[in-house]
A and B are shown apart, each in its own frame.
Chain A
């Protein structure tokens, strides 16, 4: 089963990508006022969380150069409205609502995994619609969407190092990853390019999102293979010599023994 990136996001993920905290929502609202972000589909309040969905290609609205493309923001809005108008979107929204209801606190990675598992056909159809919209944006305006996949290798000082499936690694600000970052998390890096500007958005990978046991197994294996060699204890703690020196020594110096020349261990007897 191939990995895939989520084809929908919510306002919460957009807020993370826009800096999180109080700044993220303010930026999002500004982008919306400037018509760079389309209207979301507000699917309701679940577990005291207002869920507002966007198709993935709405990320193009976060890339500054979109304003330089005449007609692009309007096209973004139109395509968004069209995808929300599809029958499959209502099935997808129901799945999102149901999944969010069963969560204790917001976990985008669990949400997409749950939706992918329980609404497979709706997700597949929705994916196709989003891909078609992204294709149109590319054809008309040269806006490109590409996805790289990888696994969180480690988190260090607020930075998230991702080992890419294609080779190499990239570093991201852990605060800009739309999922609680933990080692072994499979991620999708959505690269959106508008003219000369490109932005990367790190989200949990969908189809191959490992469950907790898979992550635990992966983490164990990676840890075993990458763990630094432990330092040998010095001296060998269980190898202490059992010699017990006598509390007295020879006073007259070493004895001139006459036992040499009597070895029995060095001669090879004649052949059979």
Chain B
């Protein structure tokens, strides 16, 4: 499932949202190995580097050099650590897409929030250019950890969101660099990213059950590559799950929104409750109908 031609990008909005793409040289996908440890130290100024060179009768360039080691006293404020990152020597800038949800981003960055301070960390997936072969393969074979994104001039060629290599960014520093956003997801692309992220993180959701219901079709086919008739049966279960996804997602989000409107803005509870209940009842009836149809379809192949 990839972002097709219709899932285009849009300009970043006022607030940082799920799916926003940032561009900066410091957006490295940091990860640990068993040699990771906290380190102290600091920068040796360029003119002192030259002096150090003179002591050794050698010519060193006047550039500041970072000297960090676990033998230097650690500083809680810095919390430097020796870690690792993907190695891209030919990339001056790096792109990353926000995969923390918009509510979390709003809280961490104090967007439409009061009585809070910027704090916490937000989760990003690096966006890197793949080869043409890889990109095409990802569009034909779903890889939960890698989502091929819609092409855009602001992104590397054949852009792929590497969900399997996520890293976190300090909200205080992200707040200082919201102007480094280059793109934002449209609603369609955001939903694609959300479904892909859910599949990667929890093996649930539309992208995950699409694969699992196909496995059901394989079983129904007697352990052989499924025919269209087999897929039609397993697809009935997928439709039930589509409906459940909408119930848990759209319907309960609407409930959450109504709750806020009533509690925060003082709107009429009865009016909102009635509408929400009507929507839930309709969805549950739809779900029941689909579930019954699927149960019958499965029973027929029992």
Contact = CB atoms under 8 A, between A and B. Distances in A.
B103 interface: yes
B225 interface: yes
Interface stretch (B150-158, B173-181, B245-253, B294-302): B245-253
B86 A239 contact: yes
Contacts of B243: 258
A272 B113 contact: yes
A252 B228 contact: yes
A219 B249 CA distance: 62
B17 A230 contact: no
Interface string B164-202: 110000000000000000000101101100110100000
B249 A264 contact: yes
A239 B87 CA distance: 11
Contacts of B114: 271-272
A233 B211 CA distance: 32
A266 B102 contact: yes
Contact of B57 (A214, A257, A258, A267): A214
Contacts of B232: 252
B90 interface: yes
Nearest to A247: B225
B119 to A, nearest CB: 15
A79 interface: no
Contact of B257 (A221, A243, A267): A267
A214 B55 CA distance: 9
A247 B226 CA distance: 11
B246 A262 contact: yes
A232 B56 contact: no
A232 B231 CA distance: 44
B150 to A, nearest CB: 16
A230 B112 CA distance: 46
Contact of B145 (A153, A219, A243): A243
Nearest to A245: B141
Interface stretch (B34-42, B72-80, B259-267, B269-277): B259-267
Given A231-B89, A243-B146, A270-B264, A261 B194 contact: no
Contacts of B191: 260-263
B218 interface: yes
B86 A246 contact: no
A63 interface: no
B59 A153 contact: yes
Interface in A185-224: 186, 205, 208-210, 214-215, 217-219, 221-222
Interface in A249-263: 249-252, 255, 257-263
Dominant secondary structure at the A interface: loop
Contact of B195 (A208, A232, A255, A259): A259
A210 B187 contact: no
A227 to B, nearest CB: 12
A249 B264 CA distance: 49
B211 A242 contact: no
Task: Identify the interface centre among A165, A263, A265: most chain B CB within 10 Å of its CB.
Answer: A265
A157 interface: no
Given A268-B111, A269-B106, A184 B58 contact: yes
A232 B60 contact: no
B194 A263 contact: yes
Contacts of B70: none
A153 to B, nearest CB: 7
Interface of B: 15, 17-19, 52-54, 56-61, 63, 65, 86-90, 101-103, 105-106, 111-116, 141-146, 164-165, 185, 187-188, 190-191, 194-195, 197, 206, 210-211, 214-215, 218, 225-228, 231-232, 235, 238-239, 241-243, 245-246, 248-253, 256-257, 260-261, 264-265
18 contacts: A3-B57, A164-B59, A186-B58, A221-B53, A222-B59, A230-B87, A236-B86, A243-B142, A257-B238, A259-B242, A261-B191, A262-B250, A263-B187, A263-B190, A263-B249, A264-B252, A266-B18, A269-B106
Interface of A: 3, 150-151, 153, 163-165, 184, 186, 205, 208-210, 214-215, 217-219, 221-222, 225, 229-233, 236, 239, 241-243, 245-252, 255, 257-272
Given A217-B56, A242-B164, 10 more contacts: A3-B57, A151-B58, A165-B54, A262-B248, A264-B194, A268-B106, A268-B112, A269-B106, A271-B264, A272-B113
